[in-house]
Amino acid sequence: MTPREKRIAGFVAFGALVVAVAVFPAFVSDFKAREWAYVGIYLIALLGLNMLTGYTGQISLGHGAFMAIGGYTTAILMAGNEQFGGPISGGMKDIYTLPLAGLVAGAVGLAFGLPALRLSGLYLALATFAVAVAMPSTARRFAEWTGGGQGIQLSGLPELTGGSVEDVDILGLSLSPNRWLYYLSWSIALVAYAVAWLVLRGRTGRAFRAVRDSETAAISSGVSLARYKTLAFGISAAFAGVAGGLFALGTASVSPDVFPITLSIFLLVGVVVGGLGGLSGLVFGAIVITFLPLWAQGQDLGSLLPQGIVEETQKPGGSSIVFGVVLILLMFVLPNGVSGLFRRAGQAIAKRRYARSE
């Protein structure tokens, strides 16, 4: 396929995704719409993480911490922390907190990216993982800001749209709180997808890929490693912060248990399944990390497994074994992720067309 044909195919695929997102809630239950809202939330975080790891080559095992920063920012701006002795009274509408959640998390990402310039490979991965490990303890330590182990509750607040379990009126449509969360999450996810595509197709994206492929060659080409590595951390953390703010709205609370250490691992799993260095497969990565834990417990599609396997998954530790086995099989079948599968399909079509033209 020529570059022009690839762009046209990409626009058509994105348009199809927009249409599918718009009509999908009409075919699923209200509860399922809420579950699929989390797919959109995870997609936002995966877009940012893939820009950092897939396109810049900087491995991060701490993006759950950046989601937590965004989640706590949203919660504090909505509910305040006066009840814990903090200085913020809250009262901001939930939607307006999301850009600020991205800005705060992005600023922290930029700050972390500066000292991380000295690290690479497994050393950088270990440093980011340390951030994820420290985040729950940090939240408990600064209880006057975060509410400690109890966290901050958002349910019932007037600032939470749909928090009173009433329908939400948007553009003349009456949406249940779950469907409102679905459309909010996916609207932001589609915008984030477009922003990521625009960033990566331009000069910044070329610089990111140059840093990933060869730092020496990138420097010789005039690419500033410090600038683009730090920028990648900042943009990636900002995406995670917005996702964390949406996650807080979905759970209607924030606490150390809402953003566990395993969240960072799941995000990296989603990026690998979706395909490093590609955007097209990240939707599938988000689906995997949203639903695979449920399927591994014998729920939803997992209930279609033979009864003996379902019984085993419901035993202590059984779901974790199934989860691990499925991931291993996915890596064997899709070693380059879903994006790699799409690339191979495009190459096969191009070869067939070339053979016919001769």
pLDDT score for 190: 95
Distance from C-alpha of 23 to C-alpha of 283, rounded to nearest angstrom: 17
Q: Are 53 and 59 in contact (CB under 8 A)?
A: yes
- Under 8 Å CB-to-CB from 147, ≥6 apart: which residues? 81, 83, 84, 254, 255
The single-letter code of the amino acid at 55 is Y
Distance from C-alpha of 36 to C-alpha of 15, rounded to nearest angstrom: 19
Residue 7 CA, chain-centre distance (Å), reads 24
pLDDT score for 51: 92
pLDDT score for 124: 87
Taking alpha carbons only, the member of 85, 62, 86 closest to residue 73 is 86
Instruction: Identify each DSSP E strand in 207-307 by its residue range.
Output: 253-254
Distance from C-alpha of 59 to C-alpha of 24, rounded to nearest angstrom: 34
In the numeric block, the tokens 């639903």 are attached to: 291
pLDDT score for 314: 62
Backbone angles phi, psi at 10, to 5 degrees: -65, -45
Residue 312's Cβ-count burial label (10 Å; 0-12, 13-18, 19+) is middle
pLDDT score for 173: 74
The neighbour count for residue 58, using CB atoms within 10 Å, is: 25
The neighbour count for residue 92, using CB atoms within 10 Å, is: 17
Distance from C-alpha of 271 to C-alpha of 67, rounded to nearest angstrom: 15
The neighbour count for residue 341, using CB atoms within 10 Å, is: 18
pLDDT score for 277: 79
Residue 48 CA, chain-centre distance (Å), reads 7
Half-sphere exposure of 93 (CA within 13 A, CB side): 4
Q: Are 63 and 106 in contact (CB under 8 A)?
A: no
Distance from C-alpha of 206 to C-alpha of 3, rounded to nearest angstrom: 16
Instruction: Identify each DSSP E strand in the chain by its residue range.
Output: 152-153, 168-170, 173-175, 253-254
Q: Which residues of the chain have pLDDT under 70?
A: 1-6, 163-166, 172, 298-319, 345-351, 353-358
pLDDT score for 240: 96
3-state secondary structure of 176: coil
Torsion (CA) 202, 107, 265, 310 in degrees, nearest 10: -90
Q: Are 232 and 126 in contact (CB under 8 A)?
A: no
